[in-house]
Structure 1
Amino acid sequence: MYKKILILVDNSQVMSKVVEYTYSLFPEATLYLLSVINLGPFAGYYTKTVFREMKSLAEETLNRLELLLEEKKGKFQTEVLEGEPVNVLLSYAKKKNIDLIVLQTHAGLSVNKIKIGSTTYKLLINSHVPVLLLNEDIEVKNSPKILHPTSGSKYSEIATVEVGKLASYWDSEVEALILREPKEKIAERVRELLRNFHVESTITYADESEINSILKRAPFSDIIIGSRGSPRPSYKLHNIFKPFSLDPTLKLLVAFLPKPLLLICD
């Protein structure tokens, strides 16, 4: 499975849970812990002073995470870079041939407003590798049960194949949630693809809005895996739910984030 995993590190205490969770899913992978210093409004006269302080905080966090992984005998590398987070992240991912990017997101809901941070949004639109979004409510489980929402598109089929690989690797059960018509035809195709991996799977059907159906089934799973769609320019506005850039369904799913969410790119 994924052999090189890039984790964007910030200075929050939850990062220990993020690293431990990622390691639990992929204990054989090398984890690349990257802290990006974004000076932003601090650029200017006091740039050097601010940079030193921010770098010191970043190194302190990375040292704490290194100790955690050393105790687990995990493989890892750490680095501190400066720049705009997503640009640095994607450039680093390409340079290191990263298989998966992990991001602890601060998306959420406020009154009549869906909040998706600029880092999360830009990463989802531009990443050429799978992205795993995590919130603060992370629970490590053996053989995590997978919820796989699918629209039956060719990009969703790519995700179904990846779901099969992951379910086989984790020895997990899969619940495929069929979102679109023709539901029976899509369901049969999903069964066909998953049979190649000899995993236990069930099929359920969306019986109301897509987001409500996903949220209704999420409590019975441990991780949600679907397709973000193609990152190529002509398809940049596609995702698994509707052919628009981060349509309301995907925005709500990221905002609620009831479970870890793994989005597969082509």
Structure 2
Amino acid sequence: MYDTILIPTDGSDAATTAARYGLTLAERFDATVHVLSVVDPDRFVTDSVGDVDDLIRRQHERFERRARDAVDRVAGASAVPVETHVVEGRPVTVLAAAIDDYDADLVAMGTHGRSGVDRYLLGSLAERTLRTAHVPVLAVREDDAHGAAPTIATVLLATDGSEGTERAADHAVTVAAATGAHLHALTVGDDDGPAERVVARAREAGVDATAAVRSGRPHETILGYARNHGADLVVVGTHGRSGVERVLLGSVAERVLRTATRPVLVVGP
């Protein structure tokens, strides 16, 4: 499912943790990894006394060196083939182009980054990528940056049976199969059909799976279930059933992303 994984990094804790998850999945899927760091000229400070051109040159060299160090650290930790890229430009534009240029089918990125330098903030680069990327995005919060090698032993899928969450289910089942994880399929509401169908599909793929139905506010119920069952990865779709607690970026999925303490795999349409 994942042949090429793109890992944007600024060297921050969140980006480094996201890279670990991306590399773990790359090993499981034997995927090629592209590691990207962006030198953003909009960050250069030019309102000072003296030679502006020299100031810009020195800032460019410093930012480029920092970006090179960031991608090299990820590459040095990888057990799979890695290609590194340091590109100058606006991060949103560069990242969007990189997804197409490298034919990526997964992006693993942090939702927070170094303050003031190419920040990966939900509401900024990460949010724009989540809203516009045509490939799944594995989003990792800075809160999860603990330094240990990631283990994916339990995967939680939120599903309502809609087209969007059905696609998310494909990814959840495939990731669980590749990592040997137990899959929990959770529906918030009173219809156990969607979760049961996912469990049947998972078991056909050789994945241990559990169906669950819970009531409550969707994002709170999803996160509560994740905590109670020790989920290592939460999988959500960005579209849900129209008019019924839709799993939309900007609604349930966004609330999960903003408050989850574990990585969230967001699967778009």
Answer yes or no: same fold by TM over 0.5: yes
- Deviation per CA, 1:170-220, whole angstroms, max 9, x where unpaired? 111111110245x12323332343243121111111221111111111122
- Structure 2 match to 1:152: 161
- Structure 2 match to 1:110: none
Q: 2:266 aligns with which of 254, 263, 266?
A: 263
Indicate conservation of the 8 Å contact 1:173/1:200, yes or no: yes
Q: 2:62 aligns with which of 53, 57, 65?
A: 53
Q: How does 1:136-175 map to 2 (within 5 A)?
A: 136=142, 137-138=144-145, 140-175=149-184
- Consecutive unaligned residues in structure 1, runs of 5 or more: 108-114, 231-237
Q: How does 1:1-266 map to 2 (within 5 A)?
A: 1-27=1-27, 28-42=30-44, 45=52, 46-69=55-78, 73-106=79-112, 116-136=122-142, 137-138=144-145, 140-181=149-190, 183-219=191-227, 220=229, 221-229=231-239, 242=246, 245-247=249-251, 249-266=252-269
Describe the shift of the 1:95–1:42 C-alpha distance in structure 2 as closer, same or farther (beyond 3 A). same
Cα separation, 1, equivalents of 2:108 and 2:43: 26
TM-score computed with the length of structure 1 as normaliser: 0.82
Q: How many residues align?
A: 246
CA displacement at 1:143 relative to structure 2: 4.7
Indicate conservation of the 8 Å contact 1:5/1:32, yes or no: yes
SS in structure 1 opposite 2:109? strand
CA displacement at 1:129 relative to structure 2: 0.4
TM-score computed with the length of structure 2 as normaliser: 0.81
- Consecutive unaligned residues in structure 2, runs of 5 or more: 47-51, 114-120
Describe the shift of the 1:121–1:171 C-alpha distance in structure 2 as closer, same or farther (beyond 3 A). same
Cα separation, 1, equivalents of 2:174 and 2:34: 22
Cα separation, 1, equivalents of 2:186 and 2:16: 32
Amino acid at match of 1:152: G
Amino acid at match of 2:37: S
Cα separation, 1, equivalents of 2:150 and 2:112: 23
- Deviation per CA, 1:129-148, whole angstroms, max 9, x where unpaired? 01000123255454521010
Cα separation, 2, equivalents of 1:105 and 1:200: 30
Cα separation, 1, equivalents of 2:156 and 2:173: 12
CA RMSD of aligned residues (A): 2.6
- Structure 2 match to 1:111: none
Amino acid at match of 1:209: R
Indicate conservation of the 8 Å contact 2:96/2:133, yes or no: yes
Indicate conservation of the 8 Å contact 2:19/2:108, yes or no: no
Amino acid at match of 2:33: L
Cα separation, 1, equivalents of 2:96 and 2:245: 24
Describe the shift of the 1:241–1:169 C-alpha distance in structure 2 as closer, same or farther (beyond 3 A). farther
SS in structure 1 opposite 2:131? helix
Cα separation, 1, equivalents of 2:62 and 2:109: 23
SS in structure 1 opposite 2:98? helix
- Deviation per CA, 1:76-128, whole angstroms, max 9, x where unpaired? 01011112212211211111110100111129xxxxxxx83311111111000
Cα separation, 2, equivalents of 1:217 and 1:33: 33
Cα separation, 1, equivalents of 2:126 and 2:66: 22
